[in-house]
A and B are shown apart, each in its own frame.
Chain A
Amino acid sequence: MRKGVFSLTSPWLWLVVIVGGLVSAWLLRELITPYGPADVRADRIMLPLGSRGSPLGTDNFGRDMTSRLLAGVPVSVAAGIVPAAASMALGTLIGLVSGYVGGAVDRVIMSVMDVMFAFPFILLALLAVAILGPSFWNAMIAVTIAILPRNARIIRSETLSLRERDYIVASHLSGAGAPSIVLGHILPNVLPTALVVGSTEIGQMIAATAGLSYLGLGVQPPDVDWGTLINDGGKFIAFAPSLALIPCALLAVVSILFVLAGDDLRHRLAGVRGEIGL
């Protein structure tokens, strides 16, 4: 029914081509441009697009934009994958314990999650940054915390429905202990959901971490990512629009590709496992 993973309309093909291309360009950056992302050159200030040696121009400190844009590649990929994976792992742990143990433990854990859920995503992230201080790692921790209540809830409800299945009840009756049931039977069955939900969140996490950087609360100078580039370039939008518009476009394309690929995965697995509530 659904087309192959690598057909022309599949987001996976484009994800591999575009993100793979960006990562390769980053790996080969020394061949592409002689300038480092933080190399300040007073004689090369605000060069336009297509300048010799700096095809994507330079910023107000004479820093080469090709090099700066490429420096944002590993940051963005990490900013997507690390928080999505960490938050899903933590959410799985919380959801399994809460859903399987039940009772007072479940009530306490879920009350805390409900309270966290009362904060809009960015408010939770802002509070976390306020406590931890602004840095790239802390921005990743902040978005991990901000998405956690959602993940814990999803895994908990999966665990609750699995707990009542015959084979779980049977293994319980045959004397299996809680750890062996949770690890041997429930965890393998919630993993597909965790994988799918986690992968749909990669794109959101890229956008969210870049958002914190844009607000000056993520990556700190002299390090760069697309969020800081957009912030810096935004000041010159009237006479050097490419400084902000190119990182905007890169960020948009990469976020879209990860979101579409995650959504595609969700549809592919939904046929096998029933609809996954999002």
Chain B
Amino acid sequence: MNEFLNTLQKPWPWYVAGPLIGLTVPILLIIGNKSFGISSSLRHICAACFPANIKFFKYEWKKEAWNLFFVTGILLGGMVAATLLGSNEPLQVNDNLRLELATYGITDISALVPTEIFNFANLFTVQGFIMMVGGGFLVGFGTRYAGGCTSGHAIMGLSNLQLPSLIATCCFMAGGFIMANLILPYILSL
């Protein structure tokens, strides 16, 4: 039993995690005819809390409440993984990336999000504001404009062989490549 727990506490390889994530697609379909998707939860929150008479938010969000339960579960899963299944092993980070980040003064690689960038004090700097507030805004705006995120398009949409999802996924990746390689270096040196 202890050995089993130890194995679970170590970081899981991609060939375990990927198929488990893929299985979420049939599980959600079979337990309730639900299409896998996460970004729509943000829309349901808008519809529930601030509909402001906007057409896009005037729908029966309570019918989609399952999605809010699902994301609440993800949050709880994060808590369980960080406590019961937490590991003491250092994060695996590519050496080139580690060196590059060090040139921007980011050396603390102990948490899954770099605490030297993502902290409350840094919210009031240009860099922190762009990365946390600006980045979050782009995630919310972009996913809804694109009609889905990594789960709805890249996983659910591609699983169902949808061409629009393939196009959207390619654009996600293109946007990420442009930001990470061409723009982020300037933001990190701020």
The yes or no verdict on A and B being binding partners is no
Listed in ascending order, the chain A residues whose CB lies under 8 Å from chain B are none
